[in-house]
A and B are shown apart, each in its own frame.
Chain A
Amino acid sequence: MKEFAVFWGCTIQARFPFLEKSSRLVFEAFKLPYRDVNGFTCCPEKSLINNVDPKAFAVTAARNVSVVDGLGVDLVSPCTGCVSNLATVKEDLLHNPGEKAEVNNLLKEVDKEFTGEANLFHLVPFFHDQVGKNIIQRKIKKTFAGMKVAIHYGCHMIRPSHALKNDDPMDPVKFDDLIRWLGAESLGHRTKMMCCGQGLDRVDQHENALHLAREKLVELKKIEADALIVCCPSCFQQFDNNQFLMIREGEKIYTPVIYFTELLGLALGLSPEELGMGGHRVDVGPFLKKWKEQLDKAGPSEVIDTELNVPGALA
């Protein structure tokens, strides 16, 4: 596997350091060739920077890509927005030589050059396509058999598809696959592909942000999802922080929110404490409790089965 730089993005490092923790732990567990590199900035956030200055948007994203281009490594991010923004600009520039030349002219001032050679991956499709089912299933020690979860892809994991090219933009499957490989059931639901709505919080429309979060959380309660699985810090903020605020106001909703790296970490045998899951606002205790009951019910054979069930396991 090619070496890759991790693009943490602003939100995870500023607000959710425990998500960085669980991501690092799973990278380590799979012995993936990841690196921390100097020189990244905000991706930049599209709704903010692009609205104010589209040129600054393009140059900032191109500059970030040029950092990995220059090092000859790929890029992986646990944030959907970051990858989507970087990939959108990369695709634009690769198709507009004039614009690319203009951007590179500017980048020369800071000794950088955008070539667009580096692959840009979001962590979920990366685990699906680059790590793959066999290696994942060989590594996991505990499965989520008996657990029913709802998956929230997050718009920018898969869209815009002309730039990301990683799954069906309207009917994606890869996140579902991963969850099933870990043994959990992925519940179908009406709001599965709905935008989380966190963007509204960034334009001072908090009530509307809550309104969109509520649409999904009410449905999740109804279908009795054990957890909502996300892999985007914006979606996480929307469903964890904002759900916490709504519960505090007495709203009858409750679904723990689990980051994909945490779910994977748990399956690898890491503890919730190691993974930093105490950092969540909405209590994950009931999810963990039910999971433990399922594991106890299944007995140890389940674990061994998954380990033996992969080609080459007995070789």
Chain B
Amino acid sequence: MTPVSHRVVGRRVETADVVTLQLEATDGSRLRYAAGQFNMLYAYAVGEVAISISANPLGGGPIAHTVRNVGSVSRALCGLQIGDTLGLRGPFGSDWGLDSAAGGDLVIVAGGIGLAPLRSVITQVIAERDRFGTVEIVIGTRTPEELAFKAEVESWRARSDLSVHVTVDRATPGWRGTVGVVTTVLPRVHCDPAAIALVCGPEVMMRFTALALMERGMPASRIRVSMERNMQCAIAQCGHCQLGSVFVCADGPVFTWERLEPLLAVRQL
């Protein structure tokens, strides 16, 4: 699949090292995608990296990607300005499977930049709020300053049909919210064993979160997590993203915890 040229039509600095880019294809084509999928973004002359889509799939606007500056490619992407172009291949991978969660409760748990792929879900759930039962959103970050999508999170908190909990590892002066890791919030959220949990963040955070959700009675089959791996081909060819017998790029990035846990338990592959 050849990258399609896209132009940056919007750019928002989320935190000191996180930027959201809004993109439109230069040929006017529109990408159809589902919440949870990712694209390969190509910073010309630098390289390509897999980035989750952070926009509402039903929104109809530009596609959005939220990028954290953690290496040469993501640094180049974060440096793009409105009017600049980049290459985009996708969408790839499995999605959060929101349709199969309709009619039930949702527990959404985000850690750090893991909020980006979940923003795609949360905005879709808000747009189709009647399709779901209670919606609990738990967001953990290192510090208040590292919370992405601050204004949107505030607007979610203001809604009476969402229950939003933000917690930080380290408070800074003036922070009046909760301090503690995400797992310490979970005992206080409405968590029916029949709910579907959607979890995204670094691997260790997802592991502890899945364990805490299971302590609340949720079966591993109802906990969905989104895996991050270094991707190259994104079409199950190169093996870069392989985890045991699965290709994260094609079989994932969204897996049930039931499927993923035995793969993560293997300490060396």
Partners in one complex: no
Residues of B within 8 A of A (CB): none
Residues of A within 8 A of B (CB): none
